[in-house]
Amino acid sequence: MADGGIKINTLTEKLQKALEAGISIIQLYNISDDSEESIRQINSLCRLAHRLGVPVLINNNWGLVNHTLLDGVHFDKIPDDYAHIEKAIQKKCLKGITCTNDLDIIRWADENYFDYVSFCSMFPSPTVSSCEIVSFETVKKARTLTRMPVFLAGGINPETIQKLSPLAFDGIAVVSGIMSSPDITLHTKKYLSELNKIQQHESRNH
C-alpha cells in the first residue's frame, strides 16, 4: 500500500525500490480528487509498476479507474451503491475489499465476484487504528466460505509475520513496514523471505 499524499518524486523513488525487490501489487490510498494532476501522477505510477507486470489499485475512489491506467479498486467496506458502481466502471478491473470479523462481508464479496479479500487488522498498528483486531478463527472460517485469495494486513512486520503461520493465506499487505523503512529493498526482501518460509511450511503440511 502506498500513500498517494506523499510527494510524487519521493513516492516514485520508494515504489521503484519496492517493485525491484519483488512486491506483487500496489494499492494507492489518500487520493481523494480526480484532478488532472492526480490523474497524471497515478498514470506515472501505473507505468512504473506495469513495466514489471505489477497491477495498481486505488483505495475507494473507484471513479479514477475510468480515467487512468489503474487496474482495479479496493473498498474499505461494502459500498451502499455498489450496483451503481458496478455499472459505472467502464472496464474490467480487479476488485478487493477489507474484511473484519464479520463473515457476511466474505459472503457478499463472493456473491459479487470480487477477486480477493483482505483482513484488517491482524495486529495492533497505528496505520490502521480504525480497524478492529481480526481473530485467527475468523480467517480460518473464511477459508471454508470462499476460494478467493485471502490477504492479511495490519501490524504485520518481520517479527509478527511468523505468528500467522497457522493460517492459510495468499499474501500480506504492508504500509509503513516497507514505505517508512530506511532500506526499502532490504526490508521488502525480508518480508518476502519470511512469507516464503510460511508458504513452504504450509506446502509440507498438505
pTM of the model: 0.92
**CB burial readout 35-56, b (16+ within 10 A) else e:** eeebbebbbebbebbeeeebbb
Residue 204 has pLDDT above 70, yes or no: no
Segments forming the whole domain that contains residue 161: 2-204
Contacts of 119 (CB under 8 A, 6+ apart): 98, 99, 100, 134, 138, 139, 142, 150, 151, 152, 153, 154
pLDDT bin (cut points 50, 70, 90) of residue 159 is: confident
Q: What's the pLDDT tens digit per position in 32-54?
A: 888 899 999 999 999 999 999 99
Alpha-carbon distance of 29 to 123, in angstroms, equals 20
> Domains in the chain: how many in total?
1
Check which CATH number belongs to the domain holding 41 and give it.
Answer: 3.20.20.70
Q: What's the pLDDT tens digit per position in 52-84?
A: 999 999 999 999 999 999 999 999 999 999 999
The pLDDT score that the predictor gives to residue 158 is 82
Residue 166 has pLDDT above 60, yes or no: yes
Cell numbers found for residue 59: 483505495
Q: What's the pLDDT tens digit per position in 121-147?
A: 999 876 655 678 999 999 999 999 999
